[in-house]
Amino acid sequence: MTKNKIALITGANKGIGLETARQLARQNIVVLIGARDLDKGKTAAESLVEEDLDARPIEIDVTQQNSIRQAAAQVEQEFGRLDILINNAGVMLDDPKKKLSEQSLDVWRRTFETNLFGLIATTQAFLPLLRKSDTGRIVNLSSILGSITLHATPGSPIYDFKTVAYDVSKSAVNAYTVHLAYELKDSKVKVNAAHPGWVKTELGGEGATMEITEGAKTSVALATIGDEGPSGAYIHLGQTLPW
């Protein structure tokens, strides 16, 4: 068994997830590159190994319960614990050609299947392993677009940006984060929600202003916070966001 911390990042074969893995691995953390497609996970892990970083692929599809169970069993067998879980996998499926009131129920269901239900299922499966860590950390990738306060405030940075299924799924992630933090308040496990920023990724789309290296910083910081750090918080680059 390694004495180094073990981190699992879902959706880590590209974008913010891969950069998060890179930054954690530079801190001598063993990073498990979670990917639905194992071949893509292997390719991503190999790119980090070429940088002399300890990265290993693991197949996990957060929309498939069997895949999650198998991944949890693999981590338990190989390491016996998990120190960091970063629920990074996410989708934005809203049709920009339709009004928010016209988004199909299929879009709603598929969005929530990954962004909320998949996140919860993954957390439930790995929580027993996180409880075995002396410094268990859960980071739920949220978004400023999950802030109900800012959506309801004219003149806020997001007031005129409404991707309804995605936004509401992230609001639900925020609520789950608060509830789980309450359950875990007397344990060594901390859970927080991270807004990475408007990052230049496939999901970020045209007009994004932040580089991927910056976008990973909030997740990395929350994954490595000390015992004095927050739990149940909604953070972007060290700043608390309004719910």
* Active-site choice (166, 176, 200, 234): 166
Residue showing tokens 């498990």: 32
Pair 34, 41: CB distance under 8 Å: yes
The amino acid that residue 210 corresponds to is M
In eight-state DSSP terms, residue 41 is H
166 flagged as catalytic: yes
**Which two three-digit tokens encode residue 157?**
């940075």
Spatial distance between the Cα atoms of 215 and 20, rounded to a whole number of angstroms: 8
Task: From 124, 132, 35, select the one nearest 83 (Cα to Cα).
Answer: 132
At 188, is the secondary structure helix, strand, or coil? coil
Give exposure, 57-74, as e/b (b: 16+ Cβ within 10 Å).
bbbbbbeeeebbebbbee
* Active-site choice (98, 159, 170, 217): 170
Spatial distance between the Cα atoms of 77 and 182, rounded to a whole number of angstroms: 29
At 142, is the secondary structure helix, strand, or coil? coil
170 flagged as catalytic: yes
Q: Which residues are catalytic?
A: 166, 170
